Amino acid sequence: MIKELKDSYGHLFEDALLDEISRVGTFKEVPEGFKLMEIGQYIKVMPLLISGAIKILRNDNDGDELLLYFLERGDTCAVTLSCCLGETKSQIRAIAEMDTKLIMIPIGKMEEWAAKYKSWRRFVFQSYHERLLEMLSTIDSIAFLKMDERLLKYLRDKVNVNKNNVIHNTHQEIAYELHTSRVVISRLLKNLENQDKIKLHRNNIEVISI
């Protein structure tokens, strides 16, 4: 574990902290689709991403869903962080976007290390910062963009996160994550195909140039 931890976080944390992390943290490997967090669950550990990606989703009471953003290597979940102190329930759902490796830290350490390590404080503040900016970006999308532009942004994000221009999703799945209906997504995707920006196949979308 030490090696993978150092590769991803060595430039951020001092050796003493890396040491503590490798002692109290638990290495975990989860497959694509694995549910890491469900709304209403209590949060007991905080994840440090080593590789892979996690998608963070918001659900309301009626089952409506919306993709908020992705976590990638070097990220941690700020919503988790903020829940640590308050011992509150999760407000979000977290699903592994692909096979993912992470280190789980017991939440008690969060506050302890914040007192002890400057690099940890910087990391935590920085994580909050990034997450707030991601949230602002999400708000921009849903408030200011029309569905066709949101779909384009979604496809771009997927390509970046998965480092692959074939997107393995059904139209229905995309519709859920953008909180619209399957028919709408099919319609807009067909438009994009007619503009030669993508090619549609069953269960996957090939991105040509967007």
Which is nearer to a second copy, 145 or 166 (by Cβ)? 145
User: Does 104 engage in binding with DNA (CB under 7 A)?
Assistant: no
Q: Does 86 bind a second copy (CB under 8 A)?
A: yes
Query: Using CB under 7 A, which of 12, 147, 152, 159 touches DNA?
Result: 147
Residue 190 touching DNA (CB under 7 A): yes
* DSSP state letters, the chain: -HHHHHHHHTTTS-HHHHHHHHHH-EEEEE-TT-EEE-TTPBP-EEEEEEESEEEEEEE-TTS-EEEEEEEETT-B-HHHHHHHHHTPBP-SEEEESSSEEEEEEEHHHHHHHHHH-HHHHHHHHHHHHHHHHHHHHHHHHHHH--HHHHHHHHHHHHHHHHT-SEE---HHHHHHHHTS-HHHHHHHHHHHHHTTSEEEETTEEEE---
Per CB under 7 A, the segment of 38-46, 117-125, 132-140, 142-150 that binds DNA is 142-150
Q: Does 94 bind a second copy (CB under 8 A)?
A: no
Residue 156 touches DNA, criterion: CB under 7 A: no
Beta carbon nearer to a second copy, 30 or 131: 131
In residues, how long is the chain? 210
Interface residue list for a second copy (CB under 8 A): 58, 60, 62, 64, 66, 68, 78-79, 81-86, 88, 91-92, 111, 114-115, 118, 121-122, 124-126, 128-129, 131-133, 135-136, 138-140, 142-144, 179
Interacting residues toward DNA by CB under 7 A = 146-148, 170-172, 179-184, 186-187, 189-190, 193, 200, 202-204
